């Protein structure tokens, strides 16, 4: 009789090693969370001075930075806009190139050269960003200007590619984005490459056996399988691009206004601005802390969304790109 | 479901109104495959030597022999999958209806379209729906079909899977059982209407019922496509095939075909004693 039966739940004392393992991993997780909270709290406390003078809402919606007037008028809107524009430009460039690089490494290169190419891409991630910055500032910038001019001539009907009457093409968000894309590229490429490399060989063989070309196989099998990795890689690249400091501090003029025209001289990012103004008076520092807090939430949010996307897309559960 | 149920022709079988026609696909009908002095290497190692074998139009040829004697390698030479393995090389010729598939001007994609393949481990595209799986070959080769729904039904029917999945053609192929997945793979191969179907131990990962269904499928495919099947199951080889080829590799020697002939002869009156020992289960 079913009614008389009682379900029995079987549990077992975990083994000693498992218990220690549990504790250690838990401790590590807690440490990370505590550090994150401490950073947030520190920023919050240090930014109180500035925020109490300007008000939180004004700080978030104002696009100027004047400490010479009383009361000071400071706000991060321009900085946040610049940050986002630089980051999106960087990711828009880094993702297609990263995916192509990953495809080349996993699907087209020979087994032998694959190792070297992988190492090369990872090496790119190890280049200190100040080198990219100085190179972009001293050399690349001048090379990009003709391209900027060409884009502005042919695509100025797209609002972000429009320019003023006598535009200067140096020191633009576009150039900063290109330089930052070089730093995001290795992250995107290596995340995507790792996912592509896990494509089930049986599915690839199935596609080939159906008469697929290599590209047909990639479209049918590798890209859908790697979709989660592509999105995740893009988000991680975005996280990296949002926080990039030195290169944009060198390239952009760092005025705290809203700049839409990415081809033109102008613009600022939160981290670049902080780097430029660090070491000023106490009130400015407090304002910079507040700006840092905004950036902190921006990157935290991006990375959290990235990890959720990656963990939820068992690679393979996707449609054709 | 019981065996009898499976074997009686189902009322839902297509009453063949007008069979779907493909444009841009392989030529219609079964084809003869002939291997002449076929040899294969992996790197420096010769694993298969001097295979001469005719797999006649519309017949079922079983390749039997112990593990590692080169049956899969030989099979993969027949649709140019061998060359996908880095370092793999070959010699000799493979003719598909008289055309050398390794000849000049022959593209591997064309060959593979005409010579379909079913693998040991079922490999449907797991995230694609059942319908998309069946039609994936058409999409890859840009083959047009005048009636895709009829083609889906016909292909699934030929793989004896239609009845089980007709109500859920939109659900993912990965959600099927192992035996169903393997039949989906057969349906996927059949959808492009190939001239030859290669099967590499298609039942080795399946339960007896699924195995039986696949054998039924092979029996129904006979005459319409040439079937070449590798199997370790002697009863299966006996049941499904018209002809048999016995592969064998001595230690550190490449595999060779020891004996070939009509299945009845191979099983009841083989000339080579090694063949007799093998088909009677005395080694391998
Ligand atoms: N990808 C490969 N690389 C190197 N050697 C291989 C590869 N595949 C098979 N071989 C070797 O080739 C021989 C024949 O293998 P195979 O054709 O798979 O045999 P069978 O299918 O008859 O079991 C075996 O000795 C095997 O070790
Ligand atoms: Mg094998």
Q: What is the pLDDT of residues A196-247, one digit of tens each?
A: 999 999 999 999 999 999 999 999 999 999 988 898 889 889 988 998 888 8
**Percent of chain B whose predicted confidence (pLDDT) is above 90:** 80
Segment 133-152 of chain B within 8 Å of chain A by CB: 136-137, 139-141
Considering every ligand atom shown, identify the ligand nearest to the alpha carbon of residue B63 and give its number: 1
How far apart are alpha carbons B245 and B257 in whole angstroms?
7
**Minimum Cα–Cα distance from A111: chain B residue:** B86
Q: Is B205 on the interface with A (CB under 8 A)?
A: no
Apex B56 CA angle, B50 and B60, nearest 5: 100
Radius of gyration of chain A (CA): 24
Q: Which residue has the tokens 């190692």?
A: B45
Among the partner residues A205, A211, A319, nearest to B137 by beta-carbon distance = A211
Apex A94 CA angle, A90 and A95, nearest 5: 120
Closest by Cα among A149, A153, A316 to A229: A316
pLDDT at A315 over 60: no
The architecture CATH gives domain A74-197+230-311: Orthogonal Bundle (1.10)
Handedness of CA B151, B154, B158, B162 (dihedral sign): positive
pLDDT at A82 over 50: yes
Considering every ligand atom shown, identify the ligand nearest to the alpha carbon of residue B74 and give its number: 1
- How many CB atoms sit inside 10 A of residue B161's CB? 25
Q: Among A161-175, B89-103, B186-200, name the one with the lowest average pLDDT.
A: A161-175
**Is the CB of B82 within 6 Å of ligand 1?**
no
**Minimum Cα–Cα distance from A216: chain B residue:** B140
Handedness of CA B162, B168, B171, B174 (dihedral sign): negative
Among the partner residues B127, B189, B192, nearest to A318 by beta-carbon distance = B127
Among the partner residues A110, A211, A224, nearest to B140 by beta-carbon distance = A211
Confidence (pLDDT) at B183 = 94
Confidence (pLDDT) at A92 = 96
Average pLDDT over residues A7-35: 92
Q: Do B116 and A208 count as a contact with CB atoms less than 8 A apart?
A: no
**Percent of chain B whose predicted confidence (pLDDT) is above 70:** 93
pLDDT at A298 over 50: yes
**Is the CB of B47 within 6 Å of ligand 1?**
yes
More reliable by pLDDT, B257 or B223: B257
More reliable by pLDDT, B1 or A217: A217
Report CA(B70)–ligand 1 centroid distance (Å): 6
pLDDT at A316 over 70: no
Query: Residue A125, SS3?
Result: helix
Highest mean pLDDT among A128-137, A163-172, A205-214: A205-214
Confidence (pLDDT) at A317 = 41
Between helix A173-197 and helix A141-155 the angle, nearest 10°, is 100
Confidence (pLDDT) at B17 = 58
Q: Note the helical H segments in A210-320.
A: 214-217, 223-243, 246-251, 270-277, 282-312
Selected residue of A211, A215, A315 to mutate for chain B interface (largest B Cβ count, 10 A) = A211
Q: Is the peptide bond before A71 cis (omega within 30 degrees of 0)?
A: yes
**Residue pLDDT, tens place only, B10-40:** 444 545 557 788 888 888 899 999 999 999 9
**Residue pLDDT, tens place only, A171-180:** 899 999 999 9
Q: Among A69-73, A281-285, B12-16, B174-178, name the one with the lowest average pLDDT.
A: B12-16
Among the partner residues A110, A202, A316, nearest to B119 by beta-carbon distance = A202
Q: Do A317 and B127 count as a contact with CB atoms less than 8 A apart?
A: yes
**Is the CB of B252 within 6 Å of ligand 1?**
no
Average pLDDT over residues B98-113: 93
pLDDT at A166 over 90: no
Q: How remote is the C-alpha of B273 from its chain's centroid? A: 28
Confidence (pLDDT) at A313 = 63
Report CA(A259)–ligand 1 centroid distance (Å): 63
Considering every ligand atom shown, identify the ligand nearest to the alpha carbon of residue B247 and give its number: 1
Average pLDDT over residues B171-194: 94
Report CA(A41)–ligand 2 centroid distance (Å): 62
How far apart are alpha carbons A310 and A228 in whole angstroms?
5
**Residue pLDDT, tens place only, A135-154:** 988 898 889 999 999 999 89
Q: Do A206 and B137 count as a contact with CB atoms less than 8 A apart?
A: no
Mean pLDDT of chain A: 88
Which chain A residues are closer than 8 Å to B81 by Cβ? 205, 208-209
Q: Is B86 on the interface with A (CB under 8 A)?
A: yes
Q: Is the ipTM of this complex over 0.95?
A: no
pLDDT at A21 over 50: yes
Handedness of CA A226, A176, A129, A108 (dihedral sign): positive
Query: Residue B268, SS3?
Result: helix
Selected residue of A209, A214, A320 to mutate for chain B interface (largest B Cβ count, 10 A) = A209
DSSP at A76: S
For residue A2, what pLDDT band results from cuts at 50, 70 and 90? Answer: low
Report CA(B90)–ligand 1 centroid distance (Å): 13
**Minimum Cα–Cα distance from A109: chain B residue:** B86
Average pLDDT over residues A289-306: 89
């Amino acid at each position: 009789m079913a009614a008389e039966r009682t379900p029995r739940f079987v549990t077992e004392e975990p083994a000693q090693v498992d218990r220690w393992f549990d504790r250690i991993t838990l401790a590590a997780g807690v440490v990370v969370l505590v550090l994150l909270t401490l950073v947030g709290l520190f920023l919050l406390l240090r930014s109180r001075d500035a925020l109490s003078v300007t008000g939180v809402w004004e700080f978030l919606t104002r696009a100027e930075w004047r400490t010479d007037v009383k009361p000071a008028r400071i706000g991060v809107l321009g900085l946040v806009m610049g940050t986002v524009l630089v980051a999106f430009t960087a990711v828009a460039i880094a993702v297609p190139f990263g995916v192509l690089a990953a495809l080349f490494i996993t699907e087209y290169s020979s087994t032998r050269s694959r190792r070297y190419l992988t190492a090369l891409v990872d090496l790119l991630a190890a280049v200190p960003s100040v080198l990219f910055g100085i190179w972009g500032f001293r050399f690349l910038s001048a090379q990009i200007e003709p391209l900027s001019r060409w884009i502005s001539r042919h695509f100025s009907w797209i609002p972000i590619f429009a320019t003023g009457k006598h535009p200067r093409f140096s020191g633009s968000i576009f150039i900063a984005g290109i330089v930052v894309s070089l730093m995001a590229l290795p992250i995107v490429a290596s995340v995507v490459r790792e996912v592509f490399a896990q494509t089930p060989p049986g599915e690839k063989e199935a596609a080939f056996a159906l008469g697929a070309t290599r590209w047909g196989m990639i479209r049918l099998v590798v890209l859908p399988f790697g979709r989660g990795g592509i999105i995740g890689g893009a988000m991680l690249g975005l996280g990296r691009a949002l926080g990039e400091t030195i290169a944009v501090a060198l390239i952009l003029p760092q005025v705290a206004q809203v700049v839409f025209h990415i081809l033109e001289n102008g613009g600022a990012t939160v981290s670049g601005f902080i780097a430029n103004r660090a070491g000023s008076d106490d009130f400015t520092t407090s304002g910079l802390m507040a700006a840092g807090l905004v950036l902190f939430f921006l990157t935290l949010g991006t990375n959290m969304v990235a990890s959720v996307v990656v963990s939820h897309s068992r690679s393979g559960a996707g449609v054709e790109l | 479901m019981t065996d009898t149920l499976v074997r009686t022709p189902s009322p839902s079988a297509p009453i063949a109104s007008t069979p779907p026609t493909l444009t841009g696909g392989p030529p219609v009908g079964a084809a003869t495959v002939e291997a002449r002095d076929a040899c294969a290497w992996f790197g420096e190692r010769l694993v298969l030597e001097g295979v001469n074998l005719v797999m006649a139009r519309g017949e079922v040829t079983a390749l039997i022999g112990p593990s590692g004697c080169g049956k899969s390698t030989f099979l993969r030479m027949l649709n140019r999958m061998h060359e996908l393995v880095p370092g793999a090389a070959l010699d000799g010729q493979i003719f598909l209806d008289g055309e050398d598939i390794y000849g000049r001007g022959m593209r591997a994609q064309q060959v593979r379209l005409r010579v379909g393949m079913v693998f040991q481990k079922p490999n449907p595209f797991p995230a694609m729906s059942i319908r998309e799986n069946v039609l994936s070959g058409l999409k890859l080769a840009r083959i047009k079909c005048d009636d895709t729904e009829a083609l889906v039904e016909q292909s699934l029917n030929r793989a004896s899977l239609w009845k089980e999945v007709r109500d859920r053609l939109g659900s993912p192929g990965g959600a099927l059982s192992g035996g169903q997945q393997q039949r989906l793979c057969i349906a996927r191969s059949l959808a492009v209407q190939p001239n030859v179907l290669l099967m590499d131990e298609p039942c080795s990962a399946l339960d007896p019922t699924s195995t039986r269904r696949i054998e039924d499928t092979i029996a129904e495919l006979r005459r319409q496509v040439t079937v070449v099947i590798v199997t370790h199951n002697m009863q299966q080889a006996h049941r499904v095939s018209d002809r048999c080829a016995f592969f064998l590799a001595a230690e550190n020697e490449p595999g060779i075909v020891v004996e070939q002939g009509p299945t009845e002869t191979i099983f009841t009156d083989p000339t080579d004693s090694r063949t007799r020992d093998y088909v009677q289960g005395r080694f391998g």
